[in-house]
Structure 1
Amino acid sequence: MGNLTVVAIAPPDVLRELGKKGTSSDITFYNLKRGSDTVTLIEPSRYPERLASLFFSVSMAQSAILVIDAITPALGECILMLDSAGLREGFIVLRNYLSPDQVNPLFKGTVLESYRFCDENWIELKEALLIRASEVPSQEPSADSMPYGTMAIDHHFNVKGIGTVALGGVVAGCLRKHDQLKVLPGERTATLRSIQKHDDDSGYGVVHDRVGLALKNIESDDLDRGYVLTTDPAVSVTDEITADAHLVKYWPSPIHEGMVIYCGHWMQFVSGKVTAVENASDFRRPSLTIRLEKPLVYLPGDRVVLHYLEGGKLRVVGRLILP
């Protein structure tokens, strides 16, 4: 069962053409399934009001669909988010008589240069998505080759007769039924009772799978969006980041001490105050120290997308790699 997770930056009427609506909050899920192949489409349903809605949708995705009706500031912000997140695979649908020549200058130097232009034919696009899903590896790896797994929670609740259920995406490795999971941040643990993938029972979930986990020894009230369930001892927790940043080319002025920057990683959107800045010859390549308001859970080498919510029309700052 190969699963492709796709951020769909498109009007709701388009999403209804592509999949069946599922869980909905500030992000809305639509599901497409054929045989054992599945596509999870994620709509940032509170964007542009909430920038976090867009980040969460992009952060979970392996691919993107961008439906462009007009050239607007919001389109520019979406391009910067997709590029800062490094999402290199996607489909572009132009409407209202827009042509590739009109939008290609906006994509220059970004990951969107590699996206594929598609006609406004939702049947053909669904077929392309399902074919791509069939190419995603889905077999259970051996415990020797992939002993650990990590999942980021986006929704959680209590189900009568089952107990605590956490929904989210496997972001690394492989999780297996009966795993003993660390619940981060914090000191709690939980037992993985069972796994579902698109309503089908499974003994495991691999990276890129969207899963529902039934958990034992923890209550739903003990969880929150952004919490991480993991068996991996390499997963770390920090309340301070020091790393070299890469700011978007449109960022107008140097980052300064005291700025409040939001760090987006997995399903976390954590505010922090810049406490130190070292600028070399290019202020768009600073070394930053950010003191976080609450702990950030991560794997070394992961990417963080930086946001500045007081920036008016320019709210995507850039990116950094966690040491």
Structure 2
Amino acid sequence: MSNITVAVLAPNGFSEELGKKGTTSDITFYNLKRGESTVTLIEPTRYPEKLSSLFYAISLADRVILVVDEITATFGETVLMLQSAGKAEGYIIFRNYLTLDQVAPLIKGTVLEHYEVIEHDPIGLREKLLDAAAKLTSHQKVMEGSGNGAVPIDHHFNVKGVGVVILGCVTHGVIKKHDSLKVLPTTKTAQIRSIQKHDDDADTAVTGDRVGLSLKGIEAEDLDRGYVLTNDPAIKSSLTLTGKAQLVKYWPAPLKEDMVVFLGHWMQFLPSRITRVSTEGDWRMPELSVTLEKELVYPPGARVVLHYLEGGKLRVVGSLTLS
């Protein structure tokens, strides 16, 4: 079975034409399946009220569907989020008589320049997405699934007769039934009792798979959204971080010490305080040090999206590549 995860940035409910509705919270999942090919669609249900809702949907995605009905501040913020998160593969659907010529100047120099412009055709779009999933051949999945894996938790709950269940996507590597996994940033471990992928039982899950894991050795109250289940020793967690930032071109002024910015990585959206800003040359590319109240879990060289919730219509600051 091969899966792709797609962020659907459109009016809420757009994905009802594409897949079967699943888990709903501040993000809503829809599922599409044909044979061994599956597609997970995610809508940011609480955006623009909650910026984290947009970040989570984009963070989980392999590719993007962006529906443009009008040119608004929300559209601009979405473009900046996609650019900062480095989401380079996607599709754009124009509606309400908008055309690429009207939008092209606004996306010039961003990842969206390379998105494929497609028609609003739900049947054709379903087939396009399923075909993309089918192209993940067995060889590719084996290569992507080699090595140790990680699963950031997006939802968790107790199921009667089953126990603790978490939902998440495998970011890299492979996990297997009966694996013992660290639960970062805690010191606890949990064992995988069973794996489900789109309601089918499985013995393994690899890069890109959407999974439900039944766990033993841990309680639901020990877990939280953003925690990471992993057998990868390279994954670490820390309260202090340093790295090279790249600010969006519209950001109006240099970052300052003591600013509170939110760090977005995987399913984490955590407040941090800037403790050091070092600028040599371009102030839009400073070296930053930040401290957090809760540990951020990340792999070496991770790309983190910076948000400033007091920024009014400009809440996406840019990205930070961790040292």
Taking structure 2 as the reference length, the TM-score comes to 0.97
Query: What is the aligned partner in structure 2 of residue 136 from structure 1?
Result: 136
Return the offset for 1:301. Answer: 1.3
Q: Residue 147 of structure 1 contacts residue 173 of structure 1 at CA under 8 Å; is this kept in 2?
A: yes
Residues 159, 69 of structure 1: alpha-carbon distance in 2 compared, 3 angstrom cutoff: same
Deviation at 1:315, TM superposition (A): 0.4
The answer to whether the aligner puts 1:184 opposite 2:190 as a matched pair is no
Distance 1:136 1:80 in 2: 29
1:45-124 to 2 correspondence within 5 Å? 45-124=45-124
Asked if structure 2 preserves the Cα contact closer than 8 Å seen for 1:91 and 1:117, the reply is: yes
- Uncovered stretches (5+) of structure 2, i.e. residues with no partner: none
Deviation at 1:142, TM superposition (A): 8.5
Residue 146 of structure 1: SS of its match in structure 2?
coil
1:293 to partner: Cα distance: 1.7
- 2 CA distance for matches of 1:46 and 1:142? 36
Shift of 1:99: 0.7
Q: Deviations over 1:129-185 (max 9, x none)?
A: 111111225676489x82311100000000111100000010110000110100001
Q: How many angstroms apart in 2 are the aligned matches of 1:151 and 1:168?
A: 6
Q: Deviations over 1:35-86 (max 9, x none)?
A: 1101100000000000000000000000000001000000000000011101
Q: Where does residue 262 of structure 1 map in the other structure?
A: 262
2:30 counterpart letter in structure 1: Y
Secondary structure of the residue aligned to 2:170 is strand
Equivalent runs, 1:144-223 vs 2, <5 Å: 146-223=146-223
Cα separation, 2, equivalents of 1:93 and 1:146: 35
**How many corresponding residue pairs?**
322
1:286 paired residue number: 286
Match of 2:35 in 1: 35
Q: Which residue matches 1:310?
A: 310
Residue 173 of structure 2 aligns to a residue whose secondary structure is: strand
Q: Give 2:185's aligned amino acid.
A: P
Distance in 1 of aligned mates of 2:137 and 2:219: 32
Q: 2:236 corresponds to which residue?
A: 236
CA 1:216/1:13 → structure 2, altered by over 3 Å: closer, same or farther?
Answer: closer
Q: Mark the runs of 5 or more structure 1 residues left unpaired by the alignment.
A: none
For the residue of structure 2 that corresponds to 1:297, the secondary structure is strand
- In 1: Cα distance, 2:76 partner to 2:121 partner: 24
**Structure 1 residues 13 and 225, CA gap change in structure 2 (3 angstroms):** closer
Task: Give percent identity, aligned residues only.
Answer: 58
Superposed structure 1 runs of 4+ greater than 2 Å apart: 136-143
The whole-number CA distance in structure 2 between the counterparts of 1:299 and 1:239 is 14
Partner secondary structure for residue 128 of structure 1: helix
After TM superposition, give the deviation of residue 250 of structure 1 in Å: 0.5
Q: Secondary structure at the match of 1:218?
A: coil
